[in-house]
Amino acid sequence: MTGCLPRWSTVQPGTGRPHGDSWAQCEAQRTVIEGYLRQRVRLSKVRTLLRRQGVAVSDATLRRFAIAELGFGDSAPTIPIADCGPGEEVQLDTGWMTHLAADATGQRRRFRAWIFTAVLSRHRFVYPVFRETTESAIVACEAAWAFFQGIFRILIVDNPKALVQTADPLAPKLNPVFLEYVQARGFHVDTTRVRHPKDKARVERAVSTVRDDCFAGEVLIDLEQARAHARQWCREDDGLRRHSRTLQPPRAHFETVEQPALRPAPPEPYDIPLWCEPKVARDQHAQVARALYSLPTRYVGQTLRARADRTTVRFYAGAVCVKVHPRLPPGGRAFDRHDFPAEKTVYALRDVEGLARQAERHGDAVGQFARWSWPSSAGSPGGMSRGSVATHLVALPVVCFVSRGRPGRPALRRVGRLPSPSGSSSTRQGSESPAIAALPRLTGPRESPYVTHSKMSGNRLSPASVVLGAPTSTNLHHSDRGRR
């Protein structure tokens, strides 16, 4: 009789009872259920879809049928990868740990940890941090090399954004700051495939172990105490426990086999650079770390890449370094006069000596007047600061041109606003400043080197023509315009 029963009526394994009607309904829908499972549809959704077709089965029966008849939940067989050579590979992963003790306000802050696991010896190093950033990863690597007393040749990492910008099995793109660090320390980075935790299984399993065995139940005041506790746990607890795979304590195995094969640890800490993309403003300055740095005129309006370390700041246009400045604290301003046009640098720097030298090229009297107005020169009027003199020479309408009037007419006939020693200015027509009043009155006709404002033209002069006597229409007498 038993051989004549249909397949669904066979007894359940281990119980001796025959299957019920629900099992028979699952057997009738075998092809449909198998198709859903091949499409990776969840069993709860498969049960919903069967109910829409009029097939009502319980969730427990459907699960037992899928496991027993369709192989649902069976994991594919895995092949373990052979261990690497001594000092070859170390795996890196990060995960959330626990909370610190409550502070004065009653707040408890949660922290993460970077976990390093040597592939051969399984010796671990744990470095707690608050945030998963590129800077914290570099600091953790530096602490790991100091703990292991050497650098591994290959670092196997997952694909966190702090380290890997673009994940790819063959050509991943690393973060530029981390890539620069890797090149400086001379090791290779091997990234795993996305959503393949078995590619770094030795450290993947260690996250829960570190969280439960190292930090669970501990009262930690701050991050420094958490780091000290993690270091002690790695050396005294986890490092002395016999590993089930190697049957050796990880610390002794590492010190005997792996440590002699490591590359030497760096003697000095790594200077983590700051990379940013500032835009060159109209004043030819770009801001990096709240300090201003000058750049050549041709880069105005462009966005450059800047790299700042402890000593220098470098600006790049593409792959070309276009400017190097010493690093300044926040609020500082680095000014290179060669970045600006030569005709504007002397005014931007308030270079009074430069203005006086330029005035000397236009005559001894003009140069004498310019140097006599400088407060550091002997006999100059006291009370005017260096900035006031520069403003006086650059921005005020002190006009100098040759008087071509009749003999006997004074050459210095009219003087514009000139700062007085007290800081006030005179705007009355015909008034003279102390600097002009002290100069000798010359009444020569054409040969007079002193220059005045043209009474007939009524035009004001530009700052350049005021000091340097530029040949413009406004600094010539009206009687000479026909000769131009």
Per-residue pLDDT tens digits for 50-63: 888 888 888 888 88
The percent of residues above 70 in pLDDT, for the chain, comes to: 73
pLDDT reading at 151 higher than 50:
yes
Q: What is the mean pLDDT of residues 107-122?
A: 93
Q: How large is the C-alpha radius of gyration of the chain? A: 42
Residue 251 shares a structural domain with residue 128: yes
Residue 94 shares a structural domain with residue 210: yes
Residue 191 shares a structural domain with residue 313: no
Length of the chain: 484
Residue 242 shares a structural domain with residue 319: no
Range of the domain at 147: 89-261
pLDDT value at residue 21: 82
pLDDT value at residue 38: 86
**Confidence band, pLDDT 50/70/90 cuts, at residue 150:** very high
Cα–Cα distance for residue pair 162/230, rounded to 1 Å: 23
Q: What is the mean pLDDT of residues 320-327?
A: 95
Of 292, 311, 340, which marks where a domain is finished?
Answer: 340
Question: Is residue 178 a part of any domain in this protein?
Answer: yes
Question: Is residue 299 a part of any domain in this protein?
Answer: yes
pLDDT reading at 261 higher than 90:
yes
- Residue scoring higher pLDDT (66 or 11): 66
Question: Is residue 76 a part of any domain in this protein?
Answer: no
pLDDT value at residue 75: 65
pLDDT value at residue 385: 53
Number of Cα atoms under 13 Å in the Cβ half of residue 434: 17
Question: Is residue 77 a part of any domain in this protein?
Answer: no
Residue 163 shares a structural domain with residue 223: yes
Please measure the distance between the N-terminal and C-terminal CA atoms of the chain and give it in whole angstroms.
Answer: 132
pLDDT value at residue 64: 86
Residue 26 shares a structural domain with residue 165: no
Asked whether the beta carbons of 181 and 141 are under 8 A apart, the reply is yes
Residue 384 shares a structural domain with residue 422: yes
Count up the domains in the chain and report the number.
4
Asked whether the beta carbons of 297 and 341 are under 8 A apart, the reply is yes
**Confidence band, pLDDT 50/70/90 cuts, at residue 437:** low
Question: Is residue 6 a part of any domain in this protein?
Answer: yes
pLDDT reading at 340 higher than 60:
yes
Question: Is residue 200 a part of any domain in this protein?
Answer: yes
Residue 318 shares a structural domain with residue 360: no
pLDDT value at residue 14: 54
Asked whether the beta carbons of 193 and 169 are under 8 A apart, the reply is yes
pLDDT reading at 258 higher than 90:
yes
Q: Write phi, then psi, for 279 (nearest 5 degrees).
A: -105, 135
Of 340, 363, 390, which marks where a domain is finished?
Answer: 340
Tens of pLDDT, residues 196-216: 777 777 777 788 889 999 998
Question: Is residue 83 a part of any domain in this protein?
Answer: no
Asked whether the beta carbons of 240 and 122 are under 8 A apart, the reply is no
pLDDT reading at 312 higher than 90:
yes
pLDDT value at residue 208: 86
Supply the DSSP symbol for 435: H
Q: What is the mean pLDDT of residues 87-116?
A: 92
**Confidence band, pLDDT 50/70/90 cuts, at residue 110:** very high
pLDDT reading at 458 higher than 70:
no
pLDDT value at residue 74: 67
Q: What is the mean pLDDT of residues 140-159?
A: 94
- Residue scoring higher pLDDT (464 or 133): 133
Of 315, 340, 365, which marks where a domain is finished?
Answer: 340
Tens of pLDDT, residues 262-304: 999 888 889 999 999 999 999 999 999 999 999 999 999 999 9
Residue 156 shares a structural domain with residue 131: yes
Q: What is the mean pLDDT of residues 18-40?
A: 85
Token duo for residue 254? 């590492």
pLDDT value at residue 450: 40
pLDDT value at residue 402: 39
pLDDT value at residue 375: 55
CATH for 138: 3.30.420.10
To which residue do tokens 């620069």 refer?
A: 180
Cα–Cα distance for residue pair 219/217, rounded to 1 Å: 7
pTM over 0.85: no
Residue 355: which of 322, 377, 331 has the closest Cα?
377
Question: Is residue 80 a part of any domain in this protein?
Answer: no
Residue 334 shares a structural domain with residue 365: no
pLDDT value at residue 24: 85
3-state SS class at 394: helix
Residue 378 shares a structural domain with residue 313: no
Q: What average pLDDT does the structure give for the chain?
A: 77
Residue 213 shares a structural domain with residue 305: no
pLDDT value at residue 401: 39
The listed range with the strongest mean pLDDT (1-15, 344-358, 393-407) is 344-358
